Structure 1
Amino acid sequence: AWLNDRVSPAVARLSRLIGAVTNLTMETAEDLQVLNYGVGGYYQPHADFFQVLKNGGSKLKNGNRIATWLTYMSDVEFGGATIFLAVDGHIVPKKRSAVFWYNMFASGEVDYRTAHAACPVLIGNKWVATKWIREHGQEFRRPCSLDSML
């Protein structure tokens, strides 16, 4: 399900919280996506950014997905971890916890190290809410670095 801030005060509060914690504007962010993974549910390895053709073949409204905020809305009895392949790391779902990452470097190049997957749920259910934050409007909000590849 896709939920915008007008659907519920709780959704609007979550968007405000994400903006406050990340210092990124939610004005160009996508609506909140809520997903349920039942027993056996998983998601193949992927990255959240869009592949943009160098010749401009892909026009993205509000820019690419600069960052991802993933909220875990349930505990999972067994399985359901989010794994990040390039860093050999994983996050075990814990109700009311969240993970945030940048999908792009400060230079605007996409970061392939953000490829991740959802491991199969073996016992229980996994509920998540994802907020993809677009790059437009973030020009003066993201912490800068002398190294454009950070």
Structure 2
Amino acid sequence: MRLCAEERLTRGKTSKRQRALSCRYSTGGGNPRLMYAPVKEEVEWDEPRIIRYHDIISDREMEILKNISRPQFSRSEVYEDGEARISVVRVSQSVFLYNDPVEAVSQRIGDVTGLSMETAEQLLVQNYGIGGRYEPHVDALGIENDRIATFLIYMSDVEIGGATVFPIVGVAVHPKKGSAVLWYNLHRNGEKNLNTLHAGCPVLMGNKWVANKWIREFGQEFRSPCSLSDWE
């Protein structure tokens, strides 16, 4: 099996620490909508904290998102020097769904994370075909009302390749249809967490569908309080 370079590097580095990670049923801190139907939460890594939520989206919801997105797709862009532009570092098609066709998905993200969706970006649906990839980058933009967290939904399995890798800490998160992963791009003091540098490995066989929800700082003041500490 062929793997991208970043993915190969993670295999040996993670085995010991992974054995100390845990799974649980979560109510999102006591959210009423999750009390009788808790979500399956798995800690993929401790620092940066990467959490996977299993069975977070239904097959029907995924098909709706795919069908609405296909005719609207265009080449994905990256932000460089404050501007959006097409770049060889990101090979995929994508579209922001400004009228969320499955509002329950955004509601569910808010429920499980405990974060406000009022200032979050619209859902971004992306498709990576053969060779599709995204080279190492951080999601935080270094601006006011920055992206405090990333919620990445996997809407397909991938036969070979397509993992989300964090090369600094040596972690590879593999696509699993219906699951999602969450990580925080900022420390509690508002500084970028550079350990969240991540990449989308090339798809070598199959087709990769994902949906991103970038959650912004504003509105989280009482949900995820900031810290004045230099090390938090």
TM-score (norm 1): 0.86
Cα shift at 1:114: 0.5
Uncovered stretches (5+) of structure 1, i.e. residues with no partner: 53-59
Pair 1:93 & 2:175 matched: yes
Match of 2:110 among 12, 15, 19: 19
SS of the residue 1:2 aligns to: strand
Any residues of structure 2 matched to 1:75-90 within 5 Å, and which?
A: 75-90=157-172
Percent identical among aligned pairs is 57
C-alpha distance in structure 2 between counterparts of 1:82 and 1:30, whole Å: 21
Taking structure 1 as reference, are residues 106 and 115 closer, same or farther at Cα in structure 2, changes over 3 Å only? same
Any residues of structure 2 matched to 1:33-112 within 5 Å, and which?
A: 33-52=124-143, 60=144, 63-112=145-194
Cα shift at 1:41: 0.4
Cα shift at 1:149: 3.4
Residue pair 2:156, 2:176 contacting (<8 A) in 1 also = yes
Runs of 4+ in 1 over 3 A off after TM superposition: 143-150
SS of the residue 1:39 aligns to: coil
Cα shift at 1:7: 3.6
**Could you report, residue by residue, the CA deviation over 1:23-80 in whole angstroms, capped at 9, with x for unpaired residues?**
100000000000000001000100000134xxxxxxx4xx000000000000001100
Pair 1:149 & 2:228 matched: no
Pair 1:134 & 2:216 matched: yes
Pair 1:3 & 2:94 matched: no
Taking structure 1 as reference, are residues 148 and 3 closer, same or farther at Cα in structure 2, changes over 3 Å only? farther
Between the two structures, name the one with larger relative contact order (CA 8 Å, sep ≥ 6). 1
Pair 1:29 & 2:29 matched: no
C-alpha distance in structure 1 between counterparts of 2:227 and 2:216, whole Å: 20
Taking structure 1 as reference, are residues 148 and 101 closer, same or farther at Cα in structure 2, changes over 3 Å only? farther
Cα shift at 1:142: 1.4
Name whichever of 86-95 and 136-145 sits farther off.
136-145
C-alpha distance in structure 2 between counterparts of 1:7 and 1:105, whole Å: 29
**Could you report, residue by residue, the CA deviation over 1:102-131 in whole angstroms, capped at 9, with x for unpaired residues?**
000111111111010000000000000000
AA matched with 1:112: L
Cα shift at 1:85: 1.4
C-alpha distance in structure 2 between counterparts of 1:134 and 1:88, whole Å: 26
CA RMSD of aligned residues (A): 1.6
Uncovered stretches (5+) of structure 2, i.e. residues with no partner: 1-94
